Chain A
Amino acid sequence: MSENTATKQPSKWSTFWGKVALPFKKTHVFFFGDTKGLTHYRDPISAYQAKPKMWLVTTILLVIFLGLCFYMGKAINIQDAFSRPIQWTEIGKNFAAFFTIDWNYFWGNLSADQGGYTSGVFYNCIITFCITFIATSIAFFISIPLGLLASHKLFGKKAYFAEIFLILIRTFPELLLALFLTGLTGYTMFTAIFALSLHSVGMVGKLYADQIDEADLDSLEALDACGSNKMQRIKMAVMPQVFPNFLSVGLYRLDINIRTGTMLGLIVQQYGGIGWNFLLDFRSTSFSRLGADTLGIVFMIIVVDLLSSALRKKIV
């Protein structure tokens, strides 16, 4: 199968892109002449010295690049922050307050008028984890058929439909997706789950398709010889081989979603989770509470990271 495709492929330079890219690829020929034919050298040093000298092209590109960077810096007024002196004493005081963590707030030992345990950091971290876990597990199951449809090895050129669909889904940033979906399901935790899982489907489906395309599927030919249909092929040849990889992709996505899940609470209170606590403390500039928030977020992310990496090592 692979030999056939190799013989069918056209020559590298006969394609349209080859023709278009050729002058750009051989820029050094115009400046320094061709080094073609010089393949044997006396010693490694002369071989190294005979390599195409690109210094002029490199310099021109570097100047253009630096000019672009300076233009961009000028356009966003990057020098504004240095117009007044940095107040180091105040910064030191703020950081000191940041690292004296408010433990009552962390564990939720708050009075009823402060919101009780439900406005503490620990409870909200658990809610963020719950939202993320549900969203990731929904995305894990929904994107299995989509990933299969998007794999070029199984469906050939028909796979482009599913691939483009997945690209369209994941182009939208998840936070803006959440803001738009409030029109559909209102300011609720369900919207957060919906948005997270919808965005994850796009990314996870693409990774599934990659896993299937990378897998060595010689057993497909054996099943072809037996006269199997598409479902039997997927069940017998594809899934046993790639399902551990799917699991590892899902666990990897849980890592990413836990970071995004903290941000969802930052936008709207009703999305739930630690983000809203962070926003309230940021606006009221209470540094010891911000320290508690940060500790909770970082601790939760580290725990989920370690767990998922341990499970991934065990699976694959």
Chain B
Amino acid sequence: MKQVTPEQRIQEKQARKAAFHASKFYQIASWPFVHISAFYKKISVQHIKVDLSEAQDGSLIREIPRKRPIGLYLALIAFIVILIICFIPLNFRDVNWKWDYFWNDEIVRLFTPFKYRTKTIAGWWAYSWKKFTTSFSHLFYVCFLGTVLGSLIAIPVYYLCAQNVTRNALIRTPVRLFNDLLRTIPMFIIGYMISLIFSTGSTISAVLTVAVFSLGIMYQMMFEYIETLEMSPFEAIRSCGGNNLQCTNIGLHPEVKPMFFAYFIYTLEINIRASVILSYVGFQGYVYDLQNNIDQGWYDYVGAMLLPLLLVVAALQFISNTLARRLR
């Protein structure tokens, strides 16, 4: 047998490659790639003239290649194209701006007592207080109970989802996938599905809806927070011979607990704003009354009803913001 040296093998390979490059097929098939890459090279480099002299007197002018951010330009073009396409199926034919109506017949009437309804300023405040103690407080109770239930369910779930607590991917991944699926479903669909089981409009289904919704928010934020934590206390307890539960309870939970309360208030605030939609899948109460008042044009009632909602949401926002800022 003939002995083939490595050099010869390399030469043969190069010869085969050259033959392929010289073939008709390669010449025809490669031209789009050649031209596109040449075009990309041409546009991606910009030659700018720079004065390199120390005195800046134009004695040492050189051409320097500067890279253009082509990817950024392409992304911008894609964004503009998508934005323009998005305008096609929409119609804005009926838009006519009614500033006078908006200001005089909506905004001003929110705070002016009408003679057949709230009668006086005192009557306006009395109606506001009445709604605060009845229908708004019921909405708040539903949201609070739902958030408590959801957060309590979320406690084991977020420990199961956190990568630094649960090392086993076979447990972690299915739990995360299930929760991600739960999180994608909007609140009114959850509410609808639950009210198929319990009767439509019953408060238990509203509470359970809020619970499922807040579980989705809570577990996501908490496990992302836990994954940023340092694990040295956990490992210290482990080295003393603690089991999994003791390690988590003593080593990790004291650090997680304050953030849990901050996120609890944040979730409660989100839930109060989001539970507006529950009235459209059959739940009566605060928002149902509000919608009714808006439809009838009873704007003094609307303003009096809105006041507690806005105050409570603003207060919760303030509390959760300050808590989160202090704790970080």
Whether B141 and A72, one on each chain, are in contact in the complex, defined by CB atoms closer than 8 angstroms, is yes
Whether A298 and B185, one on each chain, are in contact in the complex, defined by CB atoms closer than 8 angstroms, is yes
Whether B196 and A76, one on each chain, are in contact in the complex, defined by CB atoms closer than 8 angstroms, is no
Whether A278 and B188, one on each chain, are in contact in the complex, defined by CB atoms closer than 8 angstroms, is yes
Whether A259 and B142, one on each chain, are in contact in the complex, defined by CB atoms closer than 8 angstroms, is no
Given contacts A95-B196, A134-B87, A176-B306, contact A76 B106 (CB under 8 A): no
Task: Using CB atoms, name the residue of chain B closest to A301.
Answer: B184
Q: Which of B105, B144, B145, B203 contacts A80 (CB 8 A)?
A: B203
Whether, in the assembled complex, B35 has its beta carbon less than 8 Å from a beta carbon of chain A, the answer is no
Task: Using CB atoms, name the residue of chain B closest to A287.
Answer: B196
Q: Which of A91, A189, A262, A267 contacts B92 (CB 8 A)?
A: A189
Whether A183 and B96, one on each chain, are in contact in the complex, defined by CB atoms closer than 8 angstroms, is no
Q: Which of B89, B106, B196, B236 contacts A180 (CB 8 A)?
A: B106
Whether B83 and A81, one on each chain, are in contact in the complex, defined by CB atoms closer than 8 angstroms, is no
- The smallest beta-carbon distance between B276 and chain A, in angstroms, is 5
Given contacts A134-B86, A183-B98, contact A259 B106 (CB under 8 A): no
- The smallest beta-carbon distance between B66 and chain A, in angstroms, is 16
Whether A263 and B145, one on each chain, are in contact in the complex, defined by CB atoms closer than 8 angstroms, is no
Q: Which of B141, B280, B314 contacts A76 (CB 8 A)?
A: B141
Whether, in the assembled complex, B281 has its beta carbon less than 8 Å from a beta carbon of chain A, the answer is yes
- The smallest beta-carbon distance between B191 and chain A, in angstroms, is 10
Given contacts A69-B145, A133-B82, contact A94 B89 (CB under 8 A): no
Given contacts A137-B83, A167-B314, A171-B317, contact A263 B90 (CB under 8 A): no
Given contacts A133-B82, A301-B184, A305-B184, contact A127 B90 (CB under 8 A): yes
Q: Interface residue tally of chain A, by bracket? A: 35 or more
Task: Using CB atoms, name the residue of chain A closest to B80.
Answer: A137
Task: Using CB atoms, name the residue of chain A closest to B312.
Answer: A171
> Please, which residues of chain B bring their CB within 8 A of the CB of A63?
none
Given contacts A48-B250, A75-B141, A263-B277, contact A188 B198 (CB under 8 A): no
Task: Using CB atoms, name the residue of chain B closest to A135.
Answer: B86
Task: Using CB atoms, name the residue of chain A closest to B180.
Answer: A305
Whether, in the assembled complex, A126 has its beta carbon less than 8 Å from a beta carbon of chain B, the answer is yes
Given contacts A130-B87, A167-B314, contact A279 B92 (CB under 8 A): no
> What 1/0 flags go to A5-33 for Cβ under 8 Å of B?
00000000000000000000000000000
Task: Using CB atoms, name the residue of chain B closest to A118.
Answer: B89
**Bound-state Cα–Cα, A44 to B313, Å:** 44
Whether B203 and A263, one on each chain, are in contact in the complex, defined by CB atoms closer than 8 angstroms, is no
Whether B196 and A91, one on each chain, are in contact in the complex, defined by CB atoms closer than 8 angstroms, is yes
Q: Which of B86, B186, B204 contacts A133 (CB 8 A)?
A: B86
Given contacts A263-B186, A298-B184, contact A282 B95 (CB under 8 A): no
**Bound-state Cα–Cα, A123 to B196, Å:** 27
Whether, in the assembled complex, A187 has its beta carbon less than 8 Å from a beta carbon of chain B, the answer is yes
Task: Using CB atoms, name the residue of chain B closest to A79.
Answer: B204
Given contacts A76-B141, A171-B314, contact A186 B96 (CB under 8 A): yes
Whether, in the assembled complex, A57 has its beta carbon less than 8 Å from a beta carbon of chain B, the answer is no
Whether, in the assembled complex, A266 has its beta carbon less than 8 Å from a beta carbon of chain B, the answer is yes
B residues neighboring A (CB under 8 Å): 79, 82-83, 85-99, 101-102, 105-106, 137-138, 141-142, 144-145, 148, 184-186, 188-189, 192, 196-199, 202-205, 207, 236, 240, 250, 273-274, 276-277, 280-281, 290-291, 294, 306, 309-310, 313-314, 317-318
27 contacts across the A-B interface (CB closer than 8 A): A44-B240, A45-B240, A72-B144, A77-B203, A81-B199, A81-B205, A82-B204, A91-B197, A94-B196, A98-B196, A123-B89, A127-B90, A167-B318, A176-B276, A183-B98, A183-B105, A184-B101, A184-B102, A185-B95, A186-B96, A186-B98, A188-B91, A189-B92, A266-B280, A290-B192, A297-B189, A302-B184
